Structure 1
Amino acid sequence: MKIDAFCHIMPRPYFDRFFELDVSIHAENLRKRVSNIPALVDLDVRFKQMDEFGDYRQIINIAAPPVEDLGSPKVSKEMARIGNDSMAELVAKNPDRFAGFTACVPMDDPDAAVEELDYACNDLGALGAQIYTHVHGDAMDAERFDPFYARVAELGKLLQVHPCRSSAWSDYPNESRSKFEIWWTFGWEYDLSAFMARIVFGGVLERFPDLKLLIHHGGSMVPHFSGRVGPGWDQLGARTPESQQADVTGYPLTKRPIEYFKMMYADTAMFGAAHALRCTIDFYGADHVLFASDSPYDPEKGPGYIRATIKNLEEIGLSPSEKDAIFSGNVSRLLGLDPAAIRA
């Protein structure tokens, strides 16, 4: 069995309301993109694509942009509720297709995010929540987010982390916008990695060691630069002048920085790059990697990355037990899923 732990969707009620809103230019760009991917909304298209993969289920979440970028906190709360109610209905009606969903939460109002998390998990059966790497440019290690992290950890749920950046984040200080979609190809991976670093040095995992963070795109840059993350960050402060030491003074940590990074989980959404996937598994260990495709954002608009990821996992030399763990065992263990019940 294969449980795809990071798939995007726009249920019809959410999609319709999304297109009614007066949104920013950055959300408008994403609105253009999602309108050209039928599988985000059309279940007949989606299910036909899924049929290719046999005993295969998806854990769904609401596609970007973040609800925080759609308007005021009132709007983000409204959209989160529409998204969660709609996803819960999809899961209930299609248990043979969807193993569950992760909640949409309005992080521009942390109290409301906790309230929505409780509603989604306790009333609707959500498996966790999806957050983004920043909220309107604010780092996610800010103290105001602690009650949310504490509640996710207390519930034992999964917290998916998705990157978030637009062309407004320029590549160079003297330019006004990012060119050539560098903001997406490399910028999103930087955002994920910066999020992880702030979570580590801001002490979030020190305070909430039971927090289950699933980092999208194979744990991003961290596995590939583990020498810099490990021995490099063991020398934190050595490169910083005395006048700037406040910039490298974080929350008191009780372990090496790299050990906190290894507390996180990574998915397999590497878009067909088998060598990169092997690096991710080597760094995190097969017990901390979850099968995920990022469907339906491939050039085929649905099945391409699923097919490529399965192929990669079959060809990189994993043992049968490692493959079983990555395809379904790890996510089942983390979230208390019963694969036999899902099959039924």
Structure 2
Amino acid sequence: MKIDAFAHTLPVGLLKAIQAEVPDIIEKNAFLQIPALTDLKIRRENYPAGVKQIISNVNLNPEDYFFGDKAADLCELGNDELLKLVQDNADIFEAAVAMVPMNNLSKAIEIIDQQVVKNFVGVQLFTRALGKSIADKAFEPVFAETSKLDLPIFLHPVFDERKPDNNITFSWEYELTQAMYQIVKAGYFEKYPNLKIIVHHAGAVVPFFAGRIKYTMSAQEASDFQKFYVDTAILGNPKALELAVDYFGPSHVLFGTDAPFAVMPSGATNEVIQAIDDMQVAPDIKEDIYSNNILKLMR
């Protein structure tokens, strides 16, 4: 069994609750219009054999539309719905990753302590929140709490809305890279030795610029970059995946597809599997990527 560590869904109840006050939310965000995000029939009709997905909410963040208490309520609603999706579809869904309201940090910690630790495999954070870097000092309590409880953070990109030329091909990869840099510069891996962060899209451009990291940053910071975990969601490219394994290490690369995005109707799972199968690495490394590495991170 292959375990897809980074697949997405859009809980229908959460969507309807947001639409009640933001009726044009779908029209404003093209990525929300993919039918397989909400339609399990489509997802099942095209579901790859031998795969179980760990699902997280698509990047529709309650704190972007609602103040603290409302955002927290919607996160809890979405988390309950994600959990039910796993329970009702245990043949295709392995587990879920929880949402927390970054504009209500006390409630975010409460959700982690009471809801996440019992039923979820980790917490999803985004590269920016409330117009700030996710490594901003204001958000540090979430890093501290997840480290204390041995809960992985799943790091997903969002656009930096200050920029006029965001695009789906390159912008998110830059934002992931920049967020990794900011987390390292904040010293979180030193302050929180148990911290585990899973970065979408194979760690973006970090492996390619390993030399620049080595010679422009301190030895400690360069070492910290290699403490991230990364997934394989780059739509193929076995050589790039080999580079990720070489840089982050075989135990820090996880099978992830970003499904149902990229290839219609339900994602690029087959393309990602083909790329992993084509990698010039030992068979036991591929087994670790497909399931063993994520299983070691799951509670």
TM-score range, shorter chain: over 0.9
Partner of 1:239: none
Q: Which moved more, 1:157-166 or 1:72-81?
A: 72-81
Q: Is the 8 A contact 2:46 2:265 kept in 1?
A: no
Whether 1:204 aligns to 2:152 is no
Q: Is the 8 A contact 1:132 1:161 kept in 2?
A: yes
The CA RMSD measured in Å over matched residues stands at 1.8
One of 46, 54, 65 as aligned partner of 2:60: 65
Partner of 2:8: 8
Partner of 2:151: 157
Gaps of 5+ in 2: none
- Give the alignment of 1:41-56 within 5 angstroms: 41-50=38-47, 53-56=48-51
1:274-313 deviations in whole A, cap 9, x for unaligned?
Answer: 222221111111110000000011131313x101100000
Deviation at 1:28, TM superposition (A): 5.0
Report the Cα distance in structure 2 between the residues aligned to 1:264 and 1:15, rounded to whole angstroms. 31
Q: Secondary structure at the match of 2:5?
A: strand
Whether 1:134 aligns to 2:118 is no
Deviation at 1:138, TM superposition (A): 1.1
Report the Cα distance in structure 2 between the residues aligned to 1:212 and 1:199, rounded to whole angstroms. 12
Q: TM-score, normalised by structure 1?
A: 0.82
Partner of 1:293: 257
Whether 1:101 aligns to 2:102 is no
Q: Is the 8 A contact 1:100 1:126 kept in 2?
A: yes
Q: TM-score, normalised by structure 2?
A: 0.94
- Give the alignment of 1:303-314 within 5 angstroms: 303=267, 305-314=268-277
Report the Cα distance in structure 2 between the residues aligned to 1:71 and 1:277, rounded to whole angstroms. 38
Deviation at 1:24, TM superposition (A): 8.7
Whether 1:193 aligns to 2:206 is no
- Give the alignment of 1:1-344 within 5 angstroms: 1-22=1-22, 28-30=27-29, 32-35=30-33, 37-50=34-47, 53-123=48-118, 125-165=119-159, 168-170=161-163, 177-178=164-165, 182-234=166-218, 256-303=220-267, 305-336=268-299
Equivalent residue letter for 2:286:
K
1:262-285 deviations in whole A, cap 9, x for unaligned?
Answer: 111000000122222221111111
Deviation at 1:151, TM superposition (A): 1.3
Report the Cα distance in structure 2 between the residues aligned to 1:104 and 1:259, rounded to whole angstroms. 29
Q: Is the 8 A contact 1:111 1:148 kept in 2?
A: no
Identity over aligned residues, as a percent? Answer: 31
Paired residues in the alignment total 299
Report the Cα distance in structure 1 between the residues aligned to 2:271 and 2:62, rounded to whole angstroms. 30
Q: Is the 8 A contact 1:131 1:162 kept in 2?
A: yes
Gaps of 5+ in 1: 171-176, 235-254, 337-344
Runs of 4+ aligned structure 1 residues displaced above 6 Å come to none
Q: Is the 8 A contact 1:129 1:160 kept in 2?
A: yes
